[in-house]
Amino acid sequence: MSLRINETAPDFTTETTQGTIHFHEWIGDGWAILFSHPKNFTPVCTTELGAMAGIEGEFRSRNTKVIGISVDPVESHGKWKNDIKVATGFDVEYPLIGDRDLKVAKLYDMLPAEAGSSSEGRTPADNATVRSVYVIGPDKKIKLILTYPMTTGRNFAEIIRALDSMQLTAAHKVATPANWQQGDDVIITAAVSNDEATERFGSFDTVLPYLRKTRQPAL
């Protein structure tokens, strides 16, 4: 079965460019982003890991750790980092998982179950399903899942936007409307009564009986 929102993120122990990690222990009491790429030394992936390196501080400021993964060995990740720096100007300082036996990729449905048991001899085309993003909360539950095709580089600003939305929900019982950006009005969730909404937010606007908007609380 596929993983779903609000399920506990599968735990695992694996080798990374920063040594052995136990995933849940590594996450600690904050948030985490696990994002995968098809293969090292390929063009889209090079731009993606550089882009993430350039904004890692944005995630850190949100109490969120970042970790990358592909089926390439750890040694390959280390060699590839220089190319990423040349292409994008950013040093990759977050850990990268070397998932040579496809264990984590299968655990997180990044590859079909019948994909084989080793990364040896695989090409980028073989790994076409491996460009996924998992956002995991402090409770170790999966909060967001995104999967992109191999030819489409991710918009990491959108991942930050979604993370801000989820952290607002966790802290304030609000949701965010379509195309919401930081500072825009938010939606009061149905679990909050009008009386509680007044106590929590002061004034709010009832657009429809089921759609109430208010100013964004501070994160």
- In this structure, the number of other CB atoms found within 10 A of the CB of residue 179 comes to 7
What's the one-letter identity of residue 167? Q
What's the one-letter identity of residue 42? T
Q: Which of 27, 32, 45, 110 is catalytic?
A: 45
Q: 140: phi > 0 → left, psi -120 to 50 → alpha, else beta; which?
A: left
Q: Residue written as tokens 């967001």?
A: 144
What's the one-letter identity of residue 104? V
201 burial level (CB within 10 Å; 0-12, 13-18, 19+): buried
Is the alpha carbon torsion for 69, 70, 76, 82 positive or negative?
Answer: negative
Joined together, the tokens standing for residue 153 give 């580089």
* Catalytic site includes residue 203: no
Active site residues: 45
